[in-house]
Amino acid sequence: MSYQTLCRLIAAAVFLSVVVRWRAFTLIGGLPVSGMAIVIDALMLATLALTLVSVVGMWRARRWGFVAFYPFGVLFTLVFGASLIPFVPLLLPVEARVAGVFAVNGIVLVLVALVHRRHPG
C-alpha cells in the first residue's frame, strides 16, 4: 500500500472518529460559566482545531498533519475518553473499557508514528 493511501486512510479514520462523537463537541459553551468550564471548552476547541488540521494535513500527506495528530490523539483520549477507532471498546466487558480505550489509542498512535516515519523525502 502506498504512503499516500495510508495517509488518506488515517485521515478518513480520524474524521470518522470525530463525526461519530460530534454531539460531544456541541457541548462547547453549554456548561455554566466557571473556571473549569472555560478550561474544558478550551480543550474541546483545541481538540477540534487539531482534528481539522490533522485530517487536512494527512489527506495531503504532509508532515504537519502528523504533528497535529499526536496532540489530537492524546487530547481525544483524555478529554473525551473516546477510542480513535469507534465502537471497539463496546466489544470489551464494561470493566475493561477504560483500559481498552487507552490500549487502542496507544496502538493507533504507534501505528501512525510508524507511517509518519516512512515519510518520503
What are the tens digits of pLDDT across the range 21-55? Answer: 877 666 666 667 777 778 888 888 888 899 999 99
Q: Calculate helix-pair angle for 3-20, 63-80, nearest 10 degrees.
A: 30
Q: Does residue 14 contact residue 58 with C-beta atoms inside 8 Å? A: yes
Q: Is 60 helix (H, G, I), strand (E, B) or coil?
A: coil
> Can you tell me the distance from the alpha carbon of 46 to that of 116, in angstroms, rounded to the nearest whole number?
22
What are the tens digits of pLDDT across the range 61-120? Answer: 999 999 999 999 998 898 888 888 888 888 989 999 999 999 999 999 999 999 998 877
**Domain map of the chain by residue range?**
3-117
Task: Give pLDDT, residue 29.
Answer: 61
- Residue 121 scores a pLDDT above 60: no
Q: CA gyration radius for the chain?
A: 15
Task: Give pLDDT, residue 45.
Answer: 86
Task: Give pLDDT, residue 37.
Answer: 75
